[in-house]
């Protein structure tokens, strides 16, 4: 075998020698780059292949692979994806040390290829920026989300806006599920949950609700997995640059999803600008426009929002209030039909505490300990957010005695914490009672705080409290009125599908029936 080039003939042996020399030089360069200050050491980790690193090991279920590796190498571990070093954090204490106690040092975001596709790299959630402007705008977005969720409802003096929106959508779901049962005898609840949850955040952000057959909305919410498939931790194209130039259907769908999502929101923001009235702030978008206009005349203010950046904030708020809630509710229904005794116990608690004369309210959370314990166990056991969105270090630092350089990509393994045998007895068993006191009358808050699903520290999900409220209200309202089961005694498939948020396989065998005759609830 030989190759002919402009300089003559190269034998196969010479080509192999040249390749070996290249790899050796490359590895030497990498070792010089990884200079460690005297007295410190790099974190331990598995040896990978030249050029590829550990990418082949991470092809399937990275959260499980990295959990197993952490048992050998410890809570601070270094892997390689391609030629790039990635720090993997496990263990609740270690993660708290990094994200909370050393929060400023671990609050960055890595500059990844997929992140640059989200609102052109200007997303609050995915942007590498973590400076004063970013902090001010994040706080502004967080306050707007909170304000337009807990504000009093204009139609009821006893409820807040979020509660009213969720109650209306949950009532609609009850009606829709029963209607579908009459027509088709079974159904896939996800296809209806996803629109109702989207409608809640649309009401808060845009002041509007969409019909469940609105194609524009369906074209986004029904394919949201196209986003999570690429944005998940460990996507090889984020770490091996050559892959960015190869044809990829997954990346094409990801880019197309982002474009459609932005267009959808741009049209709404444009309408809001055209109808804006400073004396009638209708929703979060109006609130952000008001901030933009008010700060326009203030020089050098970090909270000033350029007009073109409003869409980025709206995008983040929509994302914070949509995917997590939809996924949580969908997993909840899967657990309820898998464990009918647990479903029955929740319903008994609802009957005894709330009765059948009124809807559940946010104020009922503290009086429904078993319902709350079920939600916590669903978060823990499913761990549908296996990793936080990747972090990066903002400067050279030391964690647990190991040197970590600036701009190091960091994976935070939430799945490992939620299944850590040091924290949980029989972690693979689904058992809501692990979160209750001995009498079963109160939720053990200390145990509940061990569950990681929304991240920790300065980059934790800005919609955490809103998401928890929605899951509670949707779930308690549905279970007060309906009983869920699976057709013909079939079992649902609980195998998670890896992504930014892990989904389960869709199931069209759900059935439901009314628990008591319908009537108007207060």
75 contact partners, CB below 8 Å, separation of at least 6: 89, 90, 91, 93, 94, 400
What CA–CA distance (Å, rounded) separates 35 from 293? 49
Buried b (16+ CB within 10 A) or exposed e, 180-208: bbeeeebbebbbbbbbbbbbbbbbbbbbe
Query: DSSP letters along 13-63, please?
Result: HHHHHHHHHHHHHHHHHHHHHT---TT-BPPP----BTTTBTTTTTSS-HH
Is the CB of residue 5 less than 8 Å from the CB of residue 14?
A: no
Give the phi and the psi of residue 120 in degrees, each rounded to 5.
Answer: 55, 35
- Residue 371 CA to residue 480 CA, distance in Å, equals 11
Asked if 396 contacts 346 with a C-beta cutoff of 8 angstroms, the reply is: no
| Rounded CA separation 82/397 (Å) | 23
Distance CA 473, CA 488 (A): 29
Pairing type for strands 409-412 and 84-89 reads parallel
Question: Would the annotation count 461 as a binding residue?
Answer: yes
> What is the four-CA torsion angle of 380, 384, 386, 391, rounded to 10 degrees?
-110
Binding residues: 461
Binding residues for heme: 461
């Amino acid at each position: 075998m030989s190759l002919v080039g402009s300089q003559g003939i190269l034998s196969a042996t010479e080509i192999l020698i040249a390749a070996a020399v290249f790899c050796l030089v490359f590895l030497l360069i990498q070792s010089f780059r990884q200079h460690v200050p005297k007295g410190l050491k790099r974190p331990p980790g598995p040896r990978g292949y030249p050029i590829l690193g550990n990418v082949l090991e991470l092809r399937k279920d990275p959260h499980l692979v990295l959990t197993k590796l952490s048992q050998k190498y410890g809570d601070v571990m270094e892997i390689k994806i391609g030629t790039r070093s990635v720090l993997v954090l496990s263990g609740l204490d270690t993660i708290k040390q990094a994200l909370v106690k050393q929060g400023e040092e671990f609050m960055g975001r890595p500059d990844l290829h997929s992140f640059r596709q989200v609102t052109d790299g200007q997303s609050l959630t995915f942007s590498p920026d973590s400076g004063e402007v970013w902090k001010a705008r994040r706080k502004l977005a967080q306050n707007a989300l909170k304000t337009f969720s807990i504000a009093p409802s204009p139609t009821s003096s006893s409820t807040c806006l979020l509660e009213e929106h969720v109650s209306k959508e949950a009532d609609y779901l009850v009606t829709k599920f029963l209607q579908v049962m009459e027509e088709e005898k079974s159904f896939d609840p996800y296809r209806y949950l996803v629109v109702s949850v989207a409608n809640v955040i649309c009401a808060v952000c845009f002041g509007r609700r969409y019909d469940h057959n609105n194609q524009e909305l369906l074209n986004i919410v029904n394919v949201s997995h196209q986003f999570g498939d690429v944005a998940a931790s460990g996507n090889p194209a984020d770490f091996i640059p050559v892959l960015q130039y190869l044809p990829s259907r997954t990346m094409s769908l990801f880019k197309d999803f982002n474009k459609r999502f932005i267009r959808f929101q741009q049209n709404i923001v444009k309408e809001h600008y055209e109808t804006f009235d400073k004396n009638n702030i209708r929703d979060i978008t109006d609130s952000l426009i008001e901030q933009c206009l008010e700060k326009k005349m203030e020089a050098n203010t970090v909270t000033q929002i350029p007009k073109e950046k409003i869409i980025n904030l709206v995008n983040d708020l929509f994302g914070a209030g949509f995917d997590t809630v939809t996924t949580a509710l969908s997993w909840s229904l899967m657990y309820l039909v898998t464990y009918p005794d647990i479903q029955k116990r929740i319903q008994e608690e609802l009957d005894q505490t709330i009765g059948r004369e009124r809807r559940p309210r946010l104020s009922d959370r503290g009086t429904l300990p078993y319902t709350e314990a079920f939600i916590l166990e669903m978060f823990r056991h499913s761990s549908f957010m296996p990793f936080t969105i990747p972090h990066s270090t903002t400067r050279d630092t030391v964690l647990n005695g190991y040197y970590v350089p600036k701009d190091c990509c960091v994976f935070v393994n939430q799945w490992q914490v939620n299944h850590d045998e040091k924290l949980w007895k029989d972690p693979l068993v689904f058992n809501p009672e692990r979160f209750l006191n001995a009498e079963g009358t109160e939720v053990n808050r200390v145990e509940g705080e061990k569950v990681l699903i929304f991240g920790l520290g300065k980059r934790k999900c800005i919609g955490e409290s809103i998401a928890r409220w929605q899951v509670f209200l949707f779930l308690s309202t549905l279970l007060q009125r309906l009983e869920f089961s699976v057709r013909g005694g079939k079992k649902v498939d609980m195998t998670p599908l890896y992504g930014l948020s892990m989904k389960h396989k869709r199931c069209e065998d759900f059935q439901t029936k009314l628990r008591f005759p319908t009537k108007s609830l207060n």
